[in-house]
Chain A
Amino acid sequence: MIAPRPYALLAEITYRCPLHCPYCSNPTQVRNDQELTANEWTRVIREAAALGVLQIGFSGGEPLARRDLAELVRAAREANLYTNLITSGIGLDDDRVGALHDAGLDSVQLSFQSDETGLADEIAGARAHQRKLNVAAKIRAEGIPLSLNFVIHRRNIDRLPQLIELAETLGAERVELANVQFYGWAFLNRAALLPTREQVVRAREIATAAKARLAGRIDIFYVLPDYYETWPKPCLNGWGQRYLTVNPIGDVLPCPTASSAIPDLRFENVRGRALDWIWRQSESFNRFRGTEWMPEPCRSCPQREIDFGGCRCQAALLTGNAATTDPVCTLSPNRSVVDEVLRDLNSSSDHPPDWTYRINPNGIQ
């Protein structure tokens, strides 16, 4: 299949992070390589723009852990990209907001763990909540558009009304209430994080009502908990169609979770290859591009150009084979894997187990 042009680059500039969220989608193990330098990133950004990319998201880890972030933002603006910072805010509570704004930063997506300090700091595994509130105020004062992001899970899903209220108070333009997706650390901690069916039903009602109430003021995006769905999410709008991710050490990924979820996929590195070649020619980008790779029931399914067979990483994590139908799909022969997880959780009255906090990759500098 001929490669289309990509629209957005997710630049995971570091996996270091001062927080330890148990739902972090970062890989649980990373190679012990040097992070890309600012010069290398500048080259990647230019190559991405030449390929057709119009937007860049600086993410991590915590992107602010890199002191040269403003330089990278400037390089992205010079390449005419729309720049978005995806951050926990820790590291922004000094004069860096102004520097980033001057460099041309277009918008910030700030994540919160909860609305209450105690719970928020418990989830983050660090004292962070109060600092985040200050950071939100600084971003607003600087006039940069602000979106809030909450990862929703068993421990904070009942606080949806309060989370939305926090977004209102902080003057956010958008709020994303994203049910946790099970990759990386979240997959490891699934039993502690997956909400109950009852919680999910209630949350959906609250989100729908808030969306209507705040229409025109705050855009609310509610990301469904896909284990409880009947059809899979249209992952990435199709593999190798619109998005690419470059991780801290320069591996180019069709999807940010692919490096840990699909161990038999070999990724190319920007240190060895041009981005254009990787996007168009590499095995990793072509393996699941289009519909050729699909097994039944996807292959003959009318939905195949709509959901693309769901998520390859989820298929890999739940069935051991990335080239199968996403087990969330009700037509998947492996749907029972998901149903069993839901049955175990919803039939037990035990407390959820403790989670394991995300730790920082060692060796990465």
Chain B
Amino acid sequence: MQTPTIAGSAQPRLARGVRLQTDPQTGNSVLLFPEGVLELNETSMEILARCDGQTVSEIIQSLAEEYDIDPKTLAADVREALADLQQRKLIELT
């Protein structure tokens, strides 16, 4: 699969009308939006928690530090997850 191209300088944010919160039943993070609920895996959760004005490069850097992984290894996964969320209109890139 081709790696989706999202610029490192892009700033992902939750799309309007989308809420990130904890599901009290499971303790996991969920995205809430008009049609439903998306239960997040750990990777998406960690990425979304950083969609607060940070750039894609900064998000990758911060995750790499937190998990002690080479940012290069991480970059493709993060971009793919962001592209998927953007496709579903759950985040916006500015």
Binding site for B on A (CB under 8 A): 5, 7-8, 49, 52, 54-55, 80, 82, 84, 106-107, 109, 143-145, 147, 173-174, 216, 219
Contact = CB atoms under 8 A, between A and B. Distances in A.
B36 interface: yes
Interface of B: 16-17, 19, 21, 23-25, 30, 32-37, 87, 89
B30 A107 contact: no
A109 B32 contact: no
Given A7-B37, A54-B30, A109-B34, A173 B89 contact: yes
12 contacts: A7-B36, A7-B37, A54-B32, A54-B37, A55-B37, A106-B34, A107-B33, A107-B34, A109-B34, A143-B16, A145-B16, A145-B34
B76 to A, nearest CB: 22
A174 B33 CA distance: 12
Given A55-B32, A55-B36, A173-B89, A82 B25 contact: no
B25 A173 contact: no
B50 to A, nearest CB: 22
A80 B25 contact: no
B89 A107 contact: no
A324 to B, nearest CB: 29
B87 to A, nearest CB: 8
A84 B33 CA distance: 9
A13 B89 CA distance: 30
B25 A5 contact: yes
A173 B35 CA distance: 12
Contact of A147 (B24, B34, B37): B34
Contacts of A144: 17
Contacts of B37: 7, 54-55
A54 B30 CA distance: 9
Contacts of A7: 36-37
From B21, B23, B30, B34, name the one whose CB has the most chain A CB atoms within 10 angstroms.
B34
Contacts of A216: 87, 89
Contacts of A145: 16-17, 34
Given A52-B25, A55-B37, A173 B32 contact: no
From B17, B25, B87, name the one whose CB has the most chain A CB atoms within 10 angstroms.
B17
B23 A54 contact: yes
Nearest to B34: A107
B34 to A, nearest CB: 4
Given A106-B34, A216-B87, 12 more contacts: A5-B25, A54-B32, A55-B32, A80-B21, A82-B33, A107-B17, A107-B34, A144-B17, A145-B16, A173-B17, A174-B34, A216-B89
Nearest to B25: A52
Nearest to B32: A82
A173 B89 CA distance: 9
Contacts of B36: 7-8, 55
A107 B17 CA distance: 6
A136 to B, nearest CB: 15
A52 B26 CA distance: 9
A-B CB proximity, top 9 nearest: A145-B17, A82-B32, A107-B34, A52-B25, A107-B17, A145-B16, A54-B37, A5-B25, A7-B37
A143 to B, nearest CB: 7
Contacts of B30: 54
Contacts of B25: 5, 52
From B21, B25, B30, name the one whose CB has the most chain A CB atoms within 10 angstroms.
B25
Given A5-B25, A54-B32, A147-B34, A82 B16 contact: no
